[in-house]
Amino acid sequence: MISKLIPKEVGQRSVINRSCIGNCIIPPLCFRMRGFVRFRDLFMPSICEVVDIPDATIDIDIGVLAPCNTDLIISQYVIPECDNPCTSSITNNLFTIFESVFGDTDVIQLDPNGCCNISRILWEAAFNHIPITQENDPNWLRLCFIENGQFPSFISVPPLNLYQWQFSSDIFEVIYGDKVAAIAPLSSPNCFVYVEAQNIRWAFPDKNAMVCNDYRREKLDMIWAGAICICIGIQQEPPTPIDPFNLKEDYEVLIGLTIGADLWELQKDIDTLTKIIISRSI
């Protein structure tokens, strides 16, 4: 599934053109989520007689630095068709792609017998991530870059490390893969998406391997990802403030007023003289 999302070849910076439409907004704050979740609490009641799921806590540290760095993303990867680009709208998604699991709209099924099922609702609540288990998963449609049920044409770029996730637990080892990133233009001429993704494995040692009836699950392979869809507007130049200490402008204004007053007096004298001449000639 990830091959559809992120191509392997890394592109260069400033790789897509986008127009500038709309007014600027103040980007939302970035955030960090820290806490813990009991591993066993993620699972739904099992239909099998013997299910041994280790009971321990998972410490979570998730940082989302993308929303407040949209101008950085624009400056790095977009050639805007305006002089002062800015962010006009933002949509941010966090999602998890599970590998080598089964599932439907309700559960993340870890074994073919359905003995060990993680609740999608509990996963999303615990990690603030949309869970995706298969290629035809309807949860794809909840991501901001899916348009008309299709993936956009992604271009690989060096990651900016704007999405971060760290886990620790005494029941498994965490193995992190290399982080990858990509951008893609969206259907609107001023919008695009930036995505970061990273392979993460939760490897359970033999003594803590989950036993789903007769099926042992010694690892969970996932792709943790963040996507931010950005539309670009144009920053309006504020009016130039009047400098109260600009003596040149003051001098020019005063000269204009003085000349104007002199001309008005001269014109008045000419009008008076004309009236006198006319009166004498009658």
What does pLDDT average to in each consecutive run of 10 residues of the chain (282 residues)? Answer: 62 79 89 92 89 89 95 93 92 95 87 92 94 92 94 93 94 94 95 96 91 90 97 76 55 58 63 62 60
Separation of alpha carbons 32 and 23, rounded Å = 28
What single-letter amino acid sits at 223? I
Strand blocks (E) in 106-190: 107-109, 117-119, 130-132, 155-157, 163-169, 173-185
Looking only at the bridges linking them, the beta strands covering 130-132 and 85-99 are parallel
Count CA atoms closer than 13 A to 47's CA, side-chain side: 7
Same domain, 215 and 255: no
pLDDT at 230: 97
Same domain, 219 and 129: yes
Separation of alpha carbons 208 and 213, rounded Å = 14
Number of structural domains the chain divides into: 2
pLDDT at 266: 64
Same domain, 157 and 265: no
> Contact at 8 Å (CB) between 76 and 183?
no
> Contact at 8 Å (CB) between 248 and 36?
no
Same domain, 153 and 82: yes
pLDDT at 102: 85
Query: Which domain covers residue 54, as residue numbers?
Result: 2-234
